[in-house]
Chain A
Amino acid sequence: MQEIATNAPRIDLRKLVTYRDVVVTEAGARPDRPAHRASVAAVVRNPWLGTPPRTDLSREQARVAPVLAGLLTDRLIAALGGADRIEAFGKAAIVGTGGEIEHAGALIHTPFFGDLVREFLEGESIICFADARAEAGEDLVVPLWHKTRAATRSHYQTVTARVSDAPRADEIVVIAAASTGPRPHPRIGDRTTDSAVTSENLERVLT
């Protein structure tokens, strides 16, 4: 809480929204490994509002994105019970209608955000993402994948993030999301179990 109180004015933070769910049963059966999934969304003022499209974004990126990475991962780790429990992660941003998608990307697609989120969540993979420009209250489906082995198919999943009154036209919602496990009943195999699929050996299906 102390850190937030200190950092909120530096990044023009309006609010933080944390969402968490746990699937107790899916299709009537308990998952072997019930996973907690969470997203944390921060609503900040767009630091580039009203600037022309050739504006250099790097200075504000370096100022705002690291603070967001710290805030969001603190909340995620608290919501999910520790970085060591987190197995999959993702990130997203929604820019208000007064900004550019490039502004959303500027806050999540550089080392000032991504490298820190990866470090704080003890991951190694590239972090998958979604972005959008939208009115307040639009929901965004945030993709997650495994934090150290991105191709782990059981961990391909999504969490829906939404802030009812954000982003305003002059704001950006920045989101980090994570899961402590796989989908409830994963059973679509993996790269290690797949047979070779080519158009030739699928000839009967394709014709």
Chain B
Amino acid sequence: MKIRKIVTHVEEIHTEGGRPVEPAARIAVVAAVIANPWAGQGFVEDLGPGIDATASDLGRLLAPEVLRALGAPAQAYGKAAIVGLDGEVEHGSALIHTLKFGDHFRRAADATTLLPAVEKRGGAGTVFDIPLKHVTDPTIRSHHQTVEVRVSDAPHPGEILVALAAASRGRPQQRLADLSTEQ
């Protein structure tokens, strides 16, 4: 795995809707910008060897970093793969839609659910939204949220940006009824 840069983005929300948020809601994202393992190889039918060489190492790198940046237990989480313009979205999906990648985060966060994801192709500086859901129950509505991220100079055409996101709580002023209460 060839890493160019590692980016950390942390938001702390102190007021929302004009009212204080206490304690402040925290969301952290850590992204690694890496060389696309399949760059320059034309259409690669079997992505397995590239996944084996990369996905687990990426998950092991990013999971502890995003929890450290959050500085609190993760109640919601998500992931992202943004593929540079010369690659396929399938390349990004290959790296993040495997247990080899996600299980590092699940174990570190005491989580059990599937990680919601964004995967897209874009130029350097493309804006992307990472969806987050509750770490043990994806039906908990208060924790459905997103964080918007932009890395000004990534991904280059031959790169993939892979990110993990974690939130310390649900939406700052969440007040929707539970799914179970709806008829």
Contact = CB atoms under 8 A, between A and B. Distances in A.
Given A15-B13, A17-B11, A5 B23 contact: yes
Contacts of B16: 14
Contacts of B10: 17-18
Secondary structure at the B interface, as helix, strand, loop or mixed, is strand
Contact of A18 (B9, B20, B127): B9
Contacts of A9: 20
A20 interface: yes
Contact of B5 (A5, A8, A23, A160): A23
A144 B144 CA distance: 37
Contacts of B2: 25
B182 interface: no
Given A8-B14, A15-B13, A139-B152, A24 B4 contact: yes
Contacts of B20: 8-9
B124 to A, nearest CB: 11
Given A22-B5, A23-B4, A24-B6, A160 B152 contact: yes
Contacts of A165: 148
B2 to A, nearest CB: 7
Interface in B137-156: 148, 150-152
B12 interface: yes
Interface in A4-31: 4-5, 8-9, 12-26
B24 interface: yes
Given A14-B15, A15-B13, A21 B5 contact: yes
17 contacts: A1-B23, A4-B14, A5-B22, A9-B20, A12-B15, A15-B13, A15-B15, A17-B9, A18-B11, A19-B8, A20-B8, A21-B6, A22-B5, A25-B3, A79-B8, A137-B127, A139-B150
Given A4-B24, A8-B14, A162-B150, 19 more contacts: A1-B23, A5-B22, A5-B23, A8-B15, A8-B24, A13-B15, A14-B13, A14-B15, A15-B13, A16-B14, A17-B12, A18-B8, A20-B7, A21-B7, A23-B4, A25-B4, A79-B8, A139-B150, A164-B150
Interface of B: 2-16, 20, 22-24, 127, 148, 150-152
